[in-house]
Chains A and B, each alone.
Chain A
Amino acid sequence: MEQFFEAILKPWPWYVAGPLIGLTVPTLLLIGNKSFGISSSLRHVCAACIPANIPFFKYDWKKEIWNLVFVLGVFVGGILATNFLENPNTFVLSNATIADLKALGIQDFSGLMPADLFSLETLFTAKGFIFFILGGFLVGFGTRYAGGCTSGHAIMGLSNLQIPSLIATCCFMVGGFAMTHLLMPIIFRLF
């Protein structure tokens, strides 16, 4: 039993986390006939709060409220895991990544996020504008334009053998590689 709790507190390996995430697909389908997808929650927020007479936001968002309840759950899960299931050991990152990011100017590797970047002080700088404001905008705009994100396309779409989802997933990866290898070195050099 003690070993079990020890294993729960340690970071979960991919072969535990991946299948659990995959099981979300049949769980949502079977408990409520819901297709898995998270980025639609952002659209429901727009429809509920700022529809502004835009046709894309004129629909019965209340019927889709399960999606907002689901992301509220993800938020609560984040609180619970961080406060009650905290990893007792230090965060382990591959040495190659540490070396690459050090070269870009990141210094703090102690947490899940680089503390020198993910702080409120950074938010109101040009760097924060690119990493949070512009970055968040690209996430919201891109996922809606693509019709889904990692969950709706990569997991639900591929599970249902959808070619458009495969194309979308490949483009997610290409975009990510381009940002990491081509644009990020330039962005970090700006500051």
Chain B
Amino acid sequence: MNNLKEIKPKNSINLAEPFVCEAPNDMKKAESWTDNIKYLVVGILFGIVFVKAEIISWFRIQEMFRLQSFHMYGVIGSAVVVGMISVFLIKKFNIKTVSGEKVEFHPKKSQKGQVYGGLIFGLGWAITGACPGPIFAQIGSGYVVVIATLLSAVAGTWTYGLLKGRLPN
């Protein structure tokens, strides 16, 4: 039995550690460049919603953390409700993807990182007024200075990768 574990699956890349991503590509079929246009379109629509609902606004984030407006709570809350119903329906009726694959879900493991990392991100969210999604829409809206925020966020992600082994998790 022990020998079986040593066998590596064919075609897999030799990873130093198992690759865990919160937004993984679980599609089995390889996608071409033209297939990516779908994600570009969804991204564009998403960016438009971000701007039109003023989610990219630093002021709206301040309003949220000061409990002075329901807007952001309504946005996140109703997004979660619609997401929950969708995931429930996909699981319940075993709805397949357009290419006929089974939809993959990933249970998340409880780790200390969700607390420490979550608190750190929260501090950054309130001061920059940006989660990683709205950052891109802010830059698109012409707030050039946010490019600095984005580059710094990349640097933060890189630093986490560097220190990962030494952080409590």
A residues whose Cβ falls under 8 Å from a Cβ of B: 8, 11-43, 45-46, 50, 52, 54-60, 63-67, 69-82, 85, 87, 91, 93-94, 96-97, 100-101, 109, 112-114, 117-120, 122-123, 128, 130-165, 167-181, 183-184, 187
Contact = CB atoms under 8 A, between A and B. Distances in A.
A124 B159 CA distance: 22
30 contacts: A11-B52, A18-B75, A26-B89, A35-B23, A36-B23, A36-B83, A37-B21, A38-B133, A40-B21, A43-B161, A69-B36, A76-B140, A77-B44, A80-B47, A81-B141, A82-B140, A94-B68, A120-B144, A123-B148, A134-B152, A138-B127, A139-B125, A141-B121, A145-B116, A145-B160, A160-B106, A162-B108, A164-B109, A168-B118, A171-B115
* Residue among B38, B109, B110 with most chain A CB within 10 A: B38
Nearest to B110: A164
Given A97-B68, A155-B83, A138 B121 contact: yes
Which are the 7 A-B pairs with shortest beta-carbon distances? A175-B122, A73-B43, A77-B47, A78-B140, A171-B118, A22-B82, A140-B156
Q: Interface on chain A toward B: helix, strand, loop, or mixed SS?
A: helix
A58 B18 CA distance: 10
B53 A11 contact: yes
A12 B57 CA distance: 13
A163 B114 CA distance: 10
A33 B101 contact: yes
Contacts of A180: 62, 65-66, 126
Interface of B: 13, 15-17, 19-28, 31, 35-36, 38-66, 68-84, 86-87, 89-90, 95, 97-98, 101, 103-111, 113-133, 135-146, 148-162, 164, 167, 169
B53 A159 contact: no
A69 B34 CA distance: 11
Contacts of B39: 28, 31-32, 34, 66-67, 69-70, 73
Contacts of A11: 52-54
Contact of B121 (A59, A156, A172): A172
B68 to A, nearest CB: 4
A19 to B, nearest CB: 5
A30 B53 contact: no
Contact of A136 (B17, B20, B149): B149
* Residue among A15, A55, A142, A172 with most chain B CB within 10 A: A142
